[in-house]
Amino acid sequence: MQQVIISVVYHTGQGHTKQIAEILAENLQSEFSRVHLINVDEVKEQFDLLHESDTIVFGCPTYFGDISAGFKQFMELTGGFWYSQVWKDKLAAAFTVSSSRCGDKLNTLISLALFAAQHSMQWISQGIMPRYCSNEQTEGQNRHGSYLGLMIQSDNARELNPPHPGDILTTELFAKRILDVTLKFKNIKIYNYEQSTN
């Protein structure tokens, strides 16, 4: 059985971004894929896992309308790889988490896409249509109407609460899309494999 390798590399401050990284990793896992979940705090020892990946998913919280400092540190560690373009034509996708519905998350996704472009990676858009009927517009899939990547609104409280159900659904659908696109890009045809229709 041919398998693709997908890594999710993330920074988290209080754990909200970690929650989403874990849901993504769980839903990326299949008989056709091997998944690495990597916290940027431990990335220095795990760069080989990123180098062997077909797809790398980048994730961080939005802090002051942009990527977090923790993620930026990781980005700057990749300077040597940029120089030799070792990630050229790997696939890339991204997600960000912030406490406001908007919270200027788009700017974070743009920064992450630019980072991937400087590494000459191929970008996977979110590819999930928002639902425009009844309550689903606000409670369902892609409720923030994002296209560049996955946007999540965290419920910031004293305790770490689970993400909004609509955001969990969107995360699951995004994982399915990342897996679909990776298999397509690697030209792996799987008999009876159901492509996502969202």
Ligand X SMILES: Cc1cc2nc3c(=O)[nH]c(=O)nc-3n(C[C@H](O)[C@H](O)[C@H](O)COP(=O)(O)O)c2cc1C
Q: Cβ neighbours of residue 75 under 8 Å, at least 6 residues apart?
A: 67, 115
When asked if residue 140 is in the footprint of ligand X (CB under 6 A), the reply is no
When asked if residue 15 is in the footprint of ligand X (CB under 6 A), the reply is yes
Of 29, 32, 49, 65, the one binding ligand X (CB under 6 A) is 65
Minimum CB separation of residue 65 from ligand X in Å reads: 4
Stretch that binds ligand X, among 50-58, 98-106, 123-131, 168-176 (CB under 6 A): 98-106
Looking at beta carbons, which pairs linking 68-76 to residues 24 or more positions away fall under 8 Å?
A: 68/11, 68/13, 70/11, 70/12, 70/13, 70/40, 70/41, 71/10, 71/11, 71/40, 73/40, 74/9, 74/11, 74/40, 74/43, 75/115
Of 103, 149, 163, 166, the one binding ligand X (CB under 6 A) is 103
| Alpha-carbon gap, residue 67 to 64, rounded angstroms | 8
Of 64, 114, 161, 190, the one binding ligand X (CB under 6 A) is 64
Q: What are phi and psi of 158, to 5 degrees?
A: -60, -35
Minimum CB separation of residue 134 from ligand X in Å reads: 27
Minimum CB separation of residue 21 from ligand X in Å reads: 9
Q: What is the total count of residues that contact ligand X (CB under 6 A)?
A: 19
Of 24, 40, 55, 63, the one binding ligand X (CB under 6 A) is 63
Stretch that binds ligand X, among 10-18, 115-123, 170-178, 181-189 (CB under 6 A): 10-18
User: Which 3 state secondary structure label does DSSP give 84?
Assistant: helix
Burial 15-24 (b: 16+ CB within 10 A, else e): ebbbbbbebb
When asked if residue 171 is in the footprint of ligand X (CB under 6 A), the reply is no
Stretch that binds ligand X, among 8-16, 28-36, 78-86, 115-123 (CB under 6 A): 8-16
User: Binding residues for ligand X, per CB under 6 A?
Assistant: 12-17, 61-65, 97-100, 103-104, 154, 156
